[in-house]
């Protein structure tokens, strides 16, 4: 939002919104697979090789394992609205460019 208000940064704004849209679309695909029972089985967690209690990165699909179908459907509904908003923003930015 800040980039679209900053003179000369519209192309940067478009790029960031497109990346956000891709991320939302990926999450939507994961949720749809989860709802249909197609979530991949995760390998056992690897030991923390960094030491000192630093957390390892969590994959987006990891949290689907503990979600109820109703939770996935709720998130899917919310993300579908966000996807529409982001797609509209990309379209508007493209018209302004």
Asked if residue 15 is part of any domain, the answer here is yes
Tally of structural domains, the chain: 1
Q: What is the pLDDT of residues 54-95, one digit of tens each?
A: 555 555 556 787 889 999 999 999 999 999 999 998 898 888
Asked if residue 45 is part of any domain, the answer here is no
Token reading at 54: 């630093």
Asked if residue 30 is part of any domain, the answer here is yes
> Where in the sequence is the domain holding 82, given as residue range(s)?
2-39+67-96
pLDDT at position 26 is: 93
Asked if residue 50 is part of any domain, the answer here is no
Asked if residue 51 is part of any domain, the answer here is no
Distance set, CA 5 to CA 11, 14, 15, 53, 97 (Å) = 11, 12, 14, 41, 13
Model-level pTM?
A: 0.70
* d(C-alpha 93, C-alpha 5), whole Å: 11
Longest distance between any two alpha carbons in the chain, whole Å? 50
Token reading at 40: 């991949």
Q: What is the pLDDT of residues 2-44, one digit of tens each?
A: 555 567 677 888 888 999 999 999 999 999 998 998 865 555 5
Asked if residue 44 is part of any domain, the answer here is no
Asked if residue 24 is part of any domain, the answer here is yes
Among 96, 95, 88, CA closest to 20: 88
Asked if residue 88 is part of any domain, the answer here is yes
């Amino acid at each position: 939002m800040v980039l679209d208000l900053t003179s000369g940064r519209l192309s940067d704004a478009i790029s960031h919104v497109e990346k956000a849209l891709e991320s939302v679309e990926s999450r939507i695909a994961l949720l749809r697979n989860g709802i249909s029972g197609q979530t991949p089985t995760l390998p056992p967690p690897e030991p923390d090789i960094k030491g000192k209690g630093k957390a390892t990165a969590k994959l987006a699909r990891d949290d689907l394992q503990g979600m109820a179908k109703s939770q996935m459907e709720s998130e899917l509904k919310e993300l579908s609205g966000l996807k529409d908003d982001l797609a509209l923003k990309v379209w508007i930015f493209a018209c302004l460019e």
